[in-house]
Amino acid sequence: MVKPIKIGIVGYGNIGRGVLSAIEKNRELYGDVSVAGILTRRPEQVKKLVSGVEVVDFDKGNDINPDVLILCGGSATDLPVQGPQFVKNFNTVDSFDTHAKLPDYFHEMDKAAKENNNVSVIATGWDPGTFSLERVLADAFIPGVKPYGFYGLSKKGGLSMGHSDAIRRVSGVKDARQYTHAIPEAMESVRKGENPTLQTGDMHWRECIVVAEDGADKDKIANEIKSMPNYFEPYKTTVDFVTQDELNDKYQDLPHDGAVIAVGTNGDGSKSLIEYKNEWESNPASTANILLAHARAAYRLKEEGKSGAFTILDVPAAYFSPKSKEELLKDFM
Amino acid sequence: MVKPIKIGIVGYGNIGRGVLSAIEKNRELYGDVSVAGILTRRPEQVKKLVSGVEVVDFDKGNDINPDVLILCGGSATDLPVQGPQFVKNFNTVDSFDTHAKLPDYFHEMDKAAKENNNVSVIATGWDPGTFSLERVLADAFIPGVKPYGFYGLSKKGGLSMGHSDAIRRVSGVKDARQYTHAIPEAMESVRKGENPTLQTGDMHWRECIVVAEDGADKDKIANEIKSMPNYFEPYKTTVDFVTQDELNDKYQDLPHDGAVIAVGTNGDGSKSLIEYKNEWESNPASTANILLAHARAAYRLKEEGKSGAFTILDVPAAYFSPKSKEELLKDFM
């Protein structure tokens, strides 16, 4: 029996809870991971939510002695501070997802990780993450291809936490959920190999389910949402008002799905298509299991003497797997 | 400008021709690969088919001075002999695809490659190859999942070269093509997360298009095909007779497609689905481009001082890509 990899969880929101249950499930199945404990800014509250798990303050990481920390905070304010800080003392995995700032974050983490002889796997989950991997593979396996990403394929669409938060900040809004929907005609054009030039609003539309405060001006709210730059302005956007009870009743799940589609032409003129799709009933639970697989990879990279920052593009697939080399050769190749 | 990787092509059948045109297309797009030459048992014949490319006999590999050789022979008789032989003097990539013998072939190639300080990437293409990779990723990202493989999804189905050859060996058969078809109900059951127990014949059926010799007993041919162990006996099999002209006219393409589908349950009980699909208008042309991407990887592994055998599971995705680290971070993550 191999000694399990001890995973510390930093932050206990949706993703943190998902990571805890992912560790439990993987421990039962494979025995190769265990919970070292939870680091949180509010240990007293979190202690009431979990049992049999060490819960300590943010700066007491050494008390739980983790092999790898999974940072479950957000990219806007948490990770830019926490990433460089935690990697000084620990191997880390995070889901930094601000695409525009990703190269800078990589280099900052790479420097900090190397200086402290630790490993940090950054920017993982599904996008950036598995979708990034599939874009690179499609680009390598179909020469000169243009990979497209679509989100919210199912009827329900995909719940966007960031966009839901943005709506909640509008004056007069009590609560809200935002569902992203892919535009099927755009997907069909891509699948046919037309490699269309698509603007942001050609690929997706946005459905907003809003609870207004009593007496609020609903037209004003709807207009303010629809004209929000970047978030909603470039899209066809619908705004529907419901009661808080309806929202609580019908809009509590956190589903998401998406696809990477790439169609290109070989040297002999023949066409190739690659399409990769995922459907998550619970986005945080599925994302958490991906993060956990990357903690395995971080541990293995460190064990073989590596240090610095890595993305999913830098890690062999075998490093994510709980299976042995011989099992992979025999049962998975 | 980086010095291009010089690729030698061993064998000039369907795959060999595909590799040559893949190198040309990738060279035009990226300039990072070039043709070192073709190694063949029949140099005089092949010289008539190509221009501007060195063509030499099998044992004259040193004359073309390749960085990597792509072995385009078959798994039954070519690769078990050629693989261990060529890796003594060269880095190699091959598409060994006898799943049952794969672990033994890996270890034999690993030993030979290490003894001679070369790199060999074995068993690549799409299955084994990209489908193996997707099985391992799905298994790592959805705990305890059971990945299924389906082949021949489109109406036309997927052309199986091996099964076509098997039919041609039946007495009274002049020519033949065999198309594999996935059974849609089985795929639906898998997509629904039922994780069904499926026998070989539950997942696919086989369509045989046969040209009989003049005066041959068609019923006898059909029976002999349908009762062929392993190849057809476990499947629902149809046999249709056509003229040689019809076969030449309507059944000359080499299309194939397939999907890996995996549905499982997270620690919190929520479901995850991953589905990966490819559609190749020309199976050898698409496979050839995958082999070429692995030649890039073999070269890079050797450059960093590695030796031994590798599969797609052991290689970071960035190694397959013609793009730089910074491009990948900026445009693909």
Closest partner residue to A268 (CB to CB) among B128, B285, B290 is B285
The pLDDT of residue B36 is above 80: yes
pLDDT tens per residue, range B239-274: 999 999 999 999 999 999 999 999 999 999 999 999
Residue B305 tokens, joined = 């001082």
The pLDDT of residue B129 is above 90: yes
The pLDDT of residue A286 is above 80: yes
Q: What is the pTM of this model?
A: 0.96
Confidence (pLDDT) at A1: 58
**Does a cis peptide bond (omega within 30 degrees of 0) precede residue B255?**
no
- Residue B110: burial class (beta carbons within 10 Å; 0-12, 13-18, 19+): middle
pLDDT tens per residue, range A233-280: 999 999 999 999 999 999 999 999 999 999 999 999 999 999 999 999
Percent of chain A whose predicted confidence (pLDDT) is above 90: 96
* B23-to-A15, B9, B30, B91 alpha-carbon distances in Å: 44, 10, 10, 17
On the CB side of A211, CA atoms within 13 Å amount to 14
Percent of chain A whose predicted confidence (pLDDT) is above 70: 100
Does A182 lie at the interface with B, CB-CB under 8 angstroms? no
Confidence (pLDDT) at B162: 86
Does A280 lie at the interface with B, CB-CB under 8 angstroms? yes
Distance CA A243, CA A249 (A): 10
The pLDDT of residue A76 is above 90: no
Q: Name the residue among B166, B169, B175 with its Cα closest to residue B237.
A: B166
Closest CA of chain A from B270, distance in Å: 6
Distance CA A52, CA B178 (A): 59
Distance CA A203, CA A187 (A): 8
* A42-to-A76, A250, A286, A333 alpha-carbon distances in Å: 20, 30, 25, 46
Does B104 lie at the interface with A, CB-CB under 8 angstroms? no
Round the average pLDDT of chain B to a whole number and report it.
96
Confidence (pLDDT) at A2: 73
Q: What is the mean pLDDT of residues A112-130?
A: 97
Task: Nearest chain A residue to B280 by CA: give it.
Answer: A272
Chain A positions in Cβ-Cβ contact with residue B106 (cut-off 8 Å): 329
**Does a cis peptide bond (omega within 30 degrees of 0) precede residue A143?**
no
Does B293 lie at the interface with A, CB-CB under 8 angstroms? yes
Residue A238 tokens, joined = 């619908």
Task: Nearest chain B residue to A297 by CA: give it.
Answer: B140
Closest CA of chain A from B15, distance in Å: 12
Distance CA B130, CA A137 (A): 9
What are the φ and ψ backbone dihedral angles of B180, each rounded to 5 degrees? -95, 140
Interface contact A130-B139, CB threshold 8 A: no
Distance CA B179, CA B258 (A): 13
Closest partner residue to B317 (CB to CB) among A17, A136, A282 is A136
Domains belonging to chain B, first-starting first, are 5-127+284-327 (3.40.50.720), 136-282 (3.30.360.10)
Does B192 lie at the interface with A, CB-CB under 8 angstroms? no
Task: Nearest chain B residue to A100 by CA: give it.
Answer: B330
Distance CA B247, CA B147 (A): 36
Interface contact A280-B286, CB threshold 8 A: no
Closest partner residue to B317 (CB to CB) among A20, A133, A272 is A133
Confidence (pLDDT) at B323: 97
Q: What is the mean pLDDT of residues A181-191?
A: 98
More confident residue, A57 or B162: A57
Using an 8 Å Cβ cutoff, are B236 and B185 in contact? no
Q: What is the mean pLDDT of residues A274-291?
A: 97
Q: Which runs of consecutive H residues, i.e. helices, occur in chain B?
A: 14-30, 43-49, 61-64, 78-86, 102-115, 130-141, 161-168, 184-191, 200-203, 218-226, 244-250, 283-303, 325-327
- Residue A124: burial class (beta carbons within 10 Å; 0-12, 13-18, 19+): buried
Interface contact A329-B22, CB threshold 8 A: no
Confidence (pLDDT) at B327: 97
Interface contact A25-B143, CB threshold 8 A: yes
Chain B positions in Cβ-Cβ contact with residue A25 (cut-off 8 Å): 143-144, 266-267
pLDDT level of residue A162 (50, 70, 90 thresholds): confident
Question: Best residue in B268, B291, B328 to probe A by mutation, most A CBs within 10 Å?
Answer: B268
Distance CA B99, CA B222 (A): 28
Closest partner residue to B273 (CB to CB) among A102, A140, A279 is A279
Distance CA A122, CA A133 (A): 13
Distance CA B166, CA B162 (A): 6
Q: Amino acid identity of A83?
A: G
Does B286 lie at the interface with A, CB-CB under 8 angstroms? yes
The answer for B172, left when phi > 0, alpha when psi is -120 to 50, beta otherwise, is left
Residue B321 tokens, joined = 């890509």
Chain A positions in Cβ-Cβ contact with residue B333 (cut-off 8 Å): 99, 102, 123, 128, 132, 311, 313
Using an 8 Å Cβ cutoff, are A159 and A179 in contact? yes
Confidence (pLDDT) at B238: 98
Confidence (pLDDT) at B76: 86
Closest CA of chain A from B27, distance in Å: 10
Percent of chain B whose predicted confidence (pLDDT) is above 90: 97
Neighbour order of strands in the sheet with B173-182: B158-159, B173-182, B204-212, B236-241
The pLDDT of residue A73 is above 70: yes
Closest CA of chain A from B286, distance in Å: 7
Q: What is the mean pLDDT of residues B16-45?
A: 97
The answer for B164, left when phi > 0, alpha when psi is -120 to 50, beta otherwise, is alpha
Task: Nearest chain B residue to A24 by CA: give it.
Answer: B267
Distance CA A226, CA A150 (A): 21
Q: What is the mean pLDDT of residues B80-98?
A: 97
Distance CA A301, CA A281 (A): 31
Confidence (pLDDT) at B1: 58
Q: Which runs of consecutive H residues, i.e. helices, occur in chain A?
A: 14-30, 43-49, 61-64, 78-86, 102-115, 130-141, 161-168, 184-191, 200-203, 218-226, 244-250, 283-303, 325-327
pLDDT level of residue A203 (50, 70, 90 thresholds): very high
Closest partner residue to B313 (CB to CB) among A21, A128, A316 is A316
Using an 8 Å Cβ cutoff, are B163 and B231 in contact? yes
